[in-house]
Amino acid sequence: MAEKKKKPYEIGELDQYLFGQGNHYEIYEKLGAHLVQNGKQKGVYFAVWAPHAQAVSVVGEFNEWDTEANPMKREEPLGIYTCFIPGVKKNQMYKYCIETYSGEQIFKADPYANYAELRPGTASRVTDIENIKWTDTEWMTRRKTWNHKHEPMSIYEVHIGSWMRHPGREDEGFYTYREFARAITKYIKEMGYTHVELMGIAEHPFDGSWGYQVTGYYAPTSRYGSPEDFAWMINYLHRNKIGIILDWVPAHFPKDAHGLADFDGTPTYEYADPRLGEHPDWGTKVFDFGKNEVRNFLISNALFWVEKFHIDGLRVDAVASMLYLDYGRKDGEWVANKYGENKNLEAIDFFRHLNSVVLGRNPGALMIAEESTAWPQVTGDVEEGGLGFSLKWNMGWMHDFTEYMKLDPYFRKDNHHLMTFAMSYAYSENYILVLSHDEVVHLKCSMLNKMPGLGFDKYANLKAGYAFMMGHAGKKLLFMGQEFAQLREWSEERELDWFLLAEPEHQQMKMWVKDLLHLYKRHKAMYEMDQSWEGFEWINADDGYRSIYSFMRHSKGAKKNLLFVCNFTPMARDDYRVGVPRKKQYKLILNSDEEKYGGTGADRKKIYKAEKKECDGRPYSFAYKLPPYGVAVFEF
């Protein structure tokens, strides 16, 4: 007998075939809960993948949470359960009651839900994201031709719940998505960042996980409002020419009873073998990248954020933990691949598929890897054996930079290489230099309190460090609060210490970072050739005795170039001579000794003429009075 003709919203044979192959890129339009018109009846069509369930029913506010009121029909061959329930309305809560093969009843949130009950509640909510009004056409059109390789990217990493809060309220005082949009836009425009990267957007039960243990991959967290509010925020940022990157967590998921773990009473989304399917370090489950339906869940989720919610890029968390089978595991706790190696071949294949599809369908979008090892070609082309990411966090640079900056200046001369080593591999990948949330938690201290010395020395050290970071090759990322020298470590439980801006030192730091960011955006030499040796040139990388670094940044055609000089000791160099390539005029455009940055405010010339006097292996040079921890940037 021929199959009864399916309605457009129902799961059909083609849907099942594509999902079973791992290639149904809009599977979120079929699975989950969707408001539909069924003949003359309005209601919701529910569909959930639970291959080893004995039976599934929908329970919710609309049926008094009765497990027998709305049984679902099993669709073969994949074990997708479906049903239409008339009269169900937007915002009503629901769960799936799954009867396992052992006869136990378990209650699960919808893996494909677009909205969830506010924690500590764990139910999903019916919603409708099909009729969101988008007003960012100009941005989305321009994105198609935008190329990160030749454009400025300075990213402000933010956790919405602790960036700023309403004081004195009985609830937690969170800003809503809409309130945050207005406030962060004003701040980002003032400071000069190009992008905001948001932590903890996908729904998660525990605030202390910062959003890295996800239970609702398709739902913007309800902590700050509805999906419509979330979309309003994106529209607002895009209309103000600010890009949005989301943290995305395909590496692992928590064991919470309502989440993905043992979804149908068996390991459904995770590897069945605990040596593959459990993260001993994190107490979480690992996705089974060998299952087509699981890979499909994740790939269509990445596309969902980029295409459905206009997100400009995904920063993929914990990539190394996915690539290595022995990551965080002792001998005997992991299983080698078929070649006897520690590479997860299924995860490698997943990344290549993921990046090819997301970037192939969405020119101008970004896939960013947080990958902490020397894995080759993370940003290399898939066709040439690479993983296909757009950019990679430079964790090696971050580690060397923070180790150097923590040193007493007396010992820096013996560790001079820590600041130059990253340039030896700077073009092996497309890098972002990062000082992220990970560097200012778990007793690692805030950026300011990593610095040696007291008072002036601490602030001056950090200013020199930030200038070096801005001048170095690679895109930039700074975690919130570090731009005004937050004293305490970050905590998700409170807002940033904005009260510090009443103190001159913190105002001066904020002004310094702001001027660095605007300098970065204004000068093509700072970003235009970030992927090429032609964009960066050392003047003197070996002045270890004085702990001074000098280098040039070049623009295409060398129309406007910049010269950086950074002093990492408290010693003034009253006649510091720097070698230069041409007998030109060098204009001082940034000087850390200005009063507004906490310097002495001493009068200085703006123009320096190079003379024919050999220095640093260059035929010409000029002298400049370099103050303690002084930074000078010249244009020529």
* Residue 238 lies inside a defined structural domain of this protein: yes
From start to end of 338-461, where are the E strands? Answer: 366-369, 391-393, 431-435
Q: Which two tokens stand for residue 77?
A: 């061959």
Are 111 and 160 contained in the same domain? no
Are 234 and 346 contained in the same domain? yes
Distance of CA 425 to the CA centre of its chain: 22
Q: Which two tokens stand for residue 353?
A: 């598929």
The rounded average pLDDT for each run of 10 residues, N- to C-terminus, in the chain (636 residues) is 74 96 97 95 97 98 97 96 97 98 97 97 97 96 96 98 90 94 98 98 95 97 97 98 98 97 98 93 95 98 98 97 95 94 97 98 98 95 97 97 97 97 95 97 95 95 98 98 97 96 98 98 95 94 96 88 97 95 95 96 94 96 96 97
CA distance 100 to 83: 19
CA distance 593 to 605: 13
Are 320 and 394 contained in the same domain? yes
Q: Residue 479: which of 530, 527, 513 has the closest Cα? A: 513
Q: Which domain holds residue 402?
A: 152-415+433-471+482-489+497-506
The label of the residue with tokens 């190696």 reads 341
Which is it for strands 93-99 and 562-567: parallel, antiparallel or unpaired? unpaired
* Residue 445 lies inside a defined structural domain of this protein: yes
How many domains are there within the chain? Answer: 2
* Residue 134 lies inside a defined structural domain of this protein: no
* Residue 250 lies inside a defined structural domain of this protein: yes
Beta bridge partners of 154: 476
Are 162 and 114 contained in the same domain? no
CA distance 361 to 258: 33
CA distance 5 to 435: 56
* Residue 407 lies inside a defined structural domain of this protein: yes
For the annotated catalytic residues, the residue numbers are 317, 370
* Residue 586 lies inside a defined structural domain of this protein: no
Q: What CATH number is attached to the domain comprising 48?
A: 2.60.40.10
Are 328 and 377 contained in the same domain? yes
Residue type, 122: T
Are 100 and 184 contained in the same domain? no
* Cβ neighbours of residue 374 closer than 8 Å, sequence gap 6 or more: 396
Are 399 and 344 contained in the same domain? yes
User: Which of residues 106, 125, 144 is at a domain's end?
Assistant: 125
* Cβ neighbours of residue 630 closer than 8 Å, sequence gap 6 or more: 464, 565, 566, 567, 572, 573, 592, 593
Q: What CATH number is attached to the domain comprising 378?
A: 3.20.20.80
Cβ–Cβ < 8 Å for 615, 579: yes
CA distance 383 to 381: 5
Are 292 and 185 contained in the same domain? yes
User: Which of residues 90, 125, 160 is at a domain's end?
Assistant: 125
Cβ–Cβ < 8 Å for 42, 87: yes
Are 304 and 438 contained in the same domain? yes
Q: Which two tokens stand for residue 608?
A: 């320096």
What SS3 class is residue 470? helix
Are 165 and 114 contained in the same domain? no
Are 120 and 182 contained in the same domain? no
CA angle (275, 279, 284) in 5-degree steps: 125
Cβ–Cβ < 8 Å for 526, 151: no
Alpha helix ranges (H) inside 98-176: 137-143, 160-163
Are 462 and 318 contained in the same domain? yes
Q: Which two tokens stand for residue 163?
A: 């960036």
pLDDT at 170: 76
Residue type, 210: W
Q: What are phi and psi of 409, to 5 degrees?
A: -55, -25
pLDDT at 3: 56
* Residue 114 lies inside a defined structural domain of this protein: yes
* Residue 197 lies inside a defined structural domain of this protein: yes
Q: Residue 193: which of 438, 482, 429 has the closest Cα? A: 482
